[in-house]
Amino acid sequence: MWHFPAGRGGAGPAAGSGPEAIEAYRQARSGIALVLPDLSMPGMSGVECFRRLRELDPQVRALISTGHGADHALQGLLDQGAQGVLRKPYVVAELAETVAATLAA
């Protein structure tokens, strides 16, 4: 999962698993403007990761990354407050544009 620091350009540290993502957010959430969890992450699903992030911070902003097609889990995440879905494979320009648009909203 990537973290996008608040007030600065670029991406912050990536977490290698769902549990790492939760801990990273817990430690630095005031400096994180956006998270990019993958629907399929080691250690816990992206669905569970997003749920736990929302428990820590109901206002967490997230784009869900996935290489899967339409899925009821994606709609559930959007219904629960995820800002959008970023489908893989994506190029850096697409990632940058989507992140910028999400942060501007």
Does the pLDDT value for residue 68 go beyond 80?
Answer: no
Give the model confidence (pLDDT) of 12-53 as tens digits: 667 889 999 999 999 988 888 899 998 888 899 889 999 999
Number of neighbours of residue 58 by Cβ within 10 angstroms:
8
- What pairs with residue 62 in β-bridges? 35
**10 lies in a domain?**
yes
- pLDDT value for 72: 82
Are the C-beta atoms of residues 11 and 4 closer than 8 Å to each other? yes
**pTM score, two decimals?**
0.82
Structural domain boundaries enclosing 18: 2-100
- Cite the DSSP H helix spans in the chain: 18-28, 46-56, 72-79, 92-104
* Mean predicted confidence (pLDDT) in 1-22: 69
* Tokens standing for residue 85: 């879905």
**40 lies in a domain?**
yes
Amino acid type, 93: A
Number of structural domains in the chain? 1
- pLDDT value for 35: 92
**17 lies in a domain?**
yes
**64 lies in a domain?**
yes
**105 lies in a domain?**
no
- pLDDT value for 26: 92
Number of neighbours of residue 35 by Cβ within 10 angstroms:
26
